Structure formats: structure tokens, C-alpha cells
Structure 1
Amino acid sequence: MLAFPEPPHRRRRRRLLLGALIAAVLTAAFFAVLIFTPLLATRTIIVEGHSLLPEETAQAALAPLAGRPLTLITDDQVRELLADRPEVAEVTAAAEPPSTLRVEITERVPVAVLQQEGEYVLIDREGRRLSAVADRAAAKLPLIDGGSDAVDSSVFATVTEVLAALPPEVLQQLDHASAPTVDSVELRLLNGRTVLWGSAEANAAKARALQALLGMPEQDPPVKTYDVTAPNRPAVR
């Protein structure tokens, strides 16, 4: 019985299939090493972007990630560990081989201070309590009148909406904010002067008008009231 030589195209195809199989095995072995080797286990967690959330609190919350392979840690896993922290708005994580995980936190922005049970609490524009501060002056944010009882009211929501529209350099000049109704927001500056704001309509235009008025030279007699209720025709008196 004669044995005929194998056609060249069949030999080539067999070599290609064998090469592909070897490449697949090597790739799988490579990723298995990446995933399961202790060399890529998380040993250091660096947390950045936070000022409200204490470092020790962040590290304690992320402690379950220690020892996990860097390549298996996702943003969602990190986000879940910090989900109960009101200060945290968003989280991203980046692996830095061989053993470092870098976590970037985006915090919610406080716009005011609320007095509650003998302490001062930072709140954001939604009225969410972010963290407590021992020294209200250090927060450099206005105090909202009404205490914790006012948080769920429409008036409170209007005031925080107004405060969120102000640039930081103006916000830091405020002492407190109040509003008998949603249409009569009033701000008090640290120097004792009053800002008549009105409703939360046209907040951006009112903020620009107030910033311009605050930048005016001192007058004689001194200004006592800034009125931006009509932002196209701001007034002082």
C-alpha cells in the first residue's frame, strides 16, 4: 500500500492550528498569572480627591480590597464600599502594578452650614448632610436659618439652590441665609450688609449682578443693602 505525501496546504493548516492552540494556551496562562499571582495582590491603596471624607475612614471602608488581585477590582466594587458615605459623589479606581490601587474620589460640594443638636453640619444643594464641623467659621459657608426642622421644606430647597449658584468667592463672604417664603430669599454678609435675592429664578444672572456690586468701590454713606431681585436693574441703598 503506497503512502502518498500530505498535500502542502494541509500541512500548513495543521501548523497554523497548532500554533493558534499554543498561543491560546500561553495567553490563558499569562492571564492566569496576572490574576492569581500574589505579585499583583493589592497591598497599597492611595485615596485622592477627598477633603470632607477623613483618610482613616476611607482606608477603613476600602480595607476589604487588600489582598485582592489588582486586575479584578472594578469601579463598581470600590463604589459599593463607599456607598454609605454621604460625602462621596463619584469614585474611579486605577490599578498601578505591581500592588497599588489608586482611588479618585469626587466629593459632593457643600453650600451651607446647618446647626443641629449642638453641632454644625455641612449640607449640599439637595440638603444632604455631608459631615459635621467643630468650628463653623472654618467652614467659610453661610448658616441657613431654621435648623434641621427646615431641611425638608420647599423654602429650604430654594435657599440651597440659590447658594449653589454663587461662586466660591461670594459664598465665603456670607454669614447666613434665610427665607420666609420661596420668593423672598435674603442673604446676610459677614460685614453685616444684606442681599435681597427674591426667588430662585434667574439665579445665574443674580449671582453675576451681586458679584459686580460687591466689586464696587466703597460709597459714602456705606451701602447697607444690595438688591438683585431684578438682576437687569440691581440696586444698592
Structure 2
Amino acid sequence: MTEPIPVLAPPTGAGHTSARSDSGPRPDTAGRPESTGRPDTSPYSRLPSNREIDKALRAARRERKRVERGEVRRFTKRSRRRRLAWLAAAGVVAALVLAVVLVAYSPLLALRHIQVVGTSRLDATTVEKKLSDQLGTPLPLLDQAGISSDLAAFPLIRSYTVESHPPDSIVVRVVERQPVGVIQRGGAFTLVDAAKVPISSSEKRPDGFPLIAAGGGAADVDADSGFAAAAGVLSALPPAVLAQVDTISAKTKDDVSFTLRGSGATVVWGSAEDSGLKAADLEALLKSAKGSSRYDVSSPHSVTTG
């Protein structure tokens, strides 16, 4: 057996304080425990209030939204640039269209001057006066049908073009019909072109044009007619030879013949086929066989004279 350890009382006297037998705090006069002076380290000693929790949550939500907006802007930066570029381009186009419309339909572009060019038989001033009903109309609103109707009053015009010259002018370029010969109708002589369109009429035969003695319509109406063949031959002749033709006749498309002025010589042409080659043969024969009364070029590879 072990001996019990004796408990010794603390010494008393000067310089020593008596020790308390209990280590707990002494109750104060109100019966509450005395403070020990040490901080309370318990995790539950300071819990946040509901107001503080709401404030922190709101701050967190704001921060999250800020970050999300930044990410969205970063990932959509290129598409936003493209959208801005398209919007800018559309705005420029819209502004240009609006400006063009405002200028085009304003009095600034009202027609004030008409010029007709390309006429030789026609009087350009007469044509300009015929078109004067278009004056005062803005250039984009010119009545093209009205212009066509006005020019149709001149049979000598085969075709035309209208050129706008802003701010207030147009130029009408006219292509006149070229007469190929004269046809006789009763006591009148009518100058016609290759389409058999009458150009002018007179009681006296016009000088410098052959008299066409052929029936039928033009080539666009009847390609096999005598008139179509005769007109085709006249169009193929060189100017020097054409000036010598007095009368041309054709009962069918295959028996074209004509007489020459002065000499009265006859040229047998045949059909209008190979007219270019036949014209070259005839031009050579008129130089090499002057004085002949008959030139047969109906077979261009075997021409004869007589």
C-alpha cells in the first residue's frame, strides 16, 4: 500500500496572498459572475443580423450581375460592332435615297431645254416644238409614251433615243429613215425606205433615186416578195453603182433586174442571194466592159456581158 500524500496549507505572511480555494469567479453583489477579462472565442458569440444578411446578399447579387454584364459585353463585342456597322450603312443609304428623291422631284430638275440631233431631212426645230409639251416636267417624270407619240408624227424617224442632261435638259438623238427608191402610185411618186415606209410624196419623180417596179410588201412582212428582193439588192450596191440605177424591177424574188442611167444598159441580177459578190462583179464589169448593153451577174462565178 502507498502512503497518502499529505496536503500542506499555503504559507501565510507578508508578501504572500492567500489563495482561494475555488477557482471559479466570485459572484458580485448582484449575484452575477465576475468577468475574467478574456475574450469569448465561441463561434456563436457574434451572429449577423437578418438586415446584415440581406445587405450582403444584395451586394453579392449586384456583383454577379456586374460580372455577367461584363462577360456578355466581352462575348458580344464583335456582333455589336457588326450591328453598328450595318445600322450606320443603312442610315447612309436611307439618307442618300431621301436626298435623291427630294432632288429628283424638285423644280431644280424641271425640263427647260430640248435639243434634237441627227436630222438631215427633218427640221430639228419642228421636232423640238412638237416635244414642248414636256417642258416643266421633272426629268425623272418625263412621259416616255408621250414622247413616242409626238415623234410618231414624223414618218421619217426610224428610231430615237432620249438622253437626260441634268439639271434641266434632254437630247433627242434621231435616226432618220434612209430612202432606197421611189414607187409610183397613180400620178404620185412616193419615196420609201427598205421597210416600204413612205417618207415623202410628190407629183414629180425625185431625182437621184431609182424607180422600183416590184410588188409585195417589205421583208418583215413578206420575205419572198419582189419588193423585198429589189430593196435588198439596192441596199447591197456600192454608192457609185447605186447612183447609176434608173429603174429596178422584180416580179418574184429570183428575177431582179435593173437599168442604168445614161447608157440604158440592163443588169440581170437574179435573186438577192450573194448580192455582195454580185455587186463586186458588176462594179468591175462597168470599168472593164464599158459600152456593153447587158450585164449578167445572176451567176456570180460566171458573169457575162453583151
Same fold per superposition (TM over 0.5): yes
Match of 1:90 in 2: 159
Residues 1:20 and 1:113: Cα distance change in structure 2 (over 3 Å)? same
Letter in 2 for 1:210: L
CA distance in 2, matches of 1:181, 1:77: 41
Deviations 1:172-207, CA, capped at 9 Å, x for gaps: 221111234443322111212221212323222222
Return the index of the structure with the highest Cα Rg. Answer: 2
CA distance in 2, matches of 1:124, 1:204: 20
Residues 1:228 and 1:17: Cα distance change in structure 2 (over 3 Å)? closer
Q: Does 1:228 align with 2:297?
A: yes
Q: Does 74-83 or 183-192 show the bigger shift?
A: 74-83
Task: Give 2:195's match in structure 1, choosing from 106, 126, 135.
Answer: 126
Match of 2:271 in 1: 199
Letter in 2 for 1:184: D
Residue pair 2:117, 2:124 contacting (<8 A) in 1 also: no
1:212 offset after TM fit, Å? 1.9
- After superposing on structure 2, the runs of 4+ consecutive aligned residues of structure 1 that deviate more than 6 Å are 1-6, 74-77
Q: Secondary structure at the match of 2:92?
A: helix
Residues 1:168 and 1:68: Cα distance change in structure 2 (over 3 Å)? farther
- Higher-RCO chain (CA-CA 8 Å, sequence separation at least 6): 1
Match of 2:249 in 1: 178
Match of 1:209 in 2: 281
Q: Does 93-102 or 53-62 show the bigger shift?
A: 53-62
In structure 2, list runs of 5 or more residues that go unmatched: 1-57
Deviations 1:124-163, CA, capped at 9 Å, x for gaps: 223222333676444x2201136xxx35482233222222
1:28 offset after TM fit, Å? 2.6
Task: Give 1:40's match in structure 2, choosing from 80, 102, 109.
Answer: 109
1:42 offset after TM fit, Å? 1.6
CA distance in 2, matches of 1:100, 1:196: 53
Residues 1:76 and 1:203: Cα distance change in structure 2 (over 3 Å)? farther
Match of 1:187 in 2: 258
CA distance in 2, matches of 1:110, 1:157: 14
Q: Secondary structure at the match of 2:175?
A: strand
Q: Does 21-30 or 154-163 show the bigger shift?
A: 21-30
CA distance in 2, matches of 1:134, 1:56: 27
CA distance in 2, matches of 1:83, 1:72: 20
Q: What is the TM-score of this pair, normalised by structure 1?
A: 0.77
Match of 1:55 in 2: 124
CA distance in 1, matches of 2:187, 2:284: 36
Residue pair 1:75, 1:91 contacting (<8 A) in 2 also: no
Residue pair 1:45, 1:100 contacting (<8 A) in 2 also: yes
Match of 1:143 in 2: 211
Residues 1:209 and 1:15: Cα distance change in structure 2 (over 3 Å)? same
Residue pair 2:297, 2:303 contacting (<8 A) in 1 also: yes
CA distance in 2, matches of 1:44, 1:103: 11
CA distance in 2, matches of 1:135, 1:98: 47
Question: Between Structure 1 and Structure 2, how many residues are aligned?
Answer: 230
In structure 1, list runs of 5 or more residues that go unmatched: none
Q: What is the TM-score of this pair, normalised by structure 2?
A: 0.62
Task: Give 2:233's match in structure 1, choosing from 162, 174, 180.
Answer: 162
Residues 1:212 and 1:79: Cα distance change in structure 2 (over 3 Å)? farther
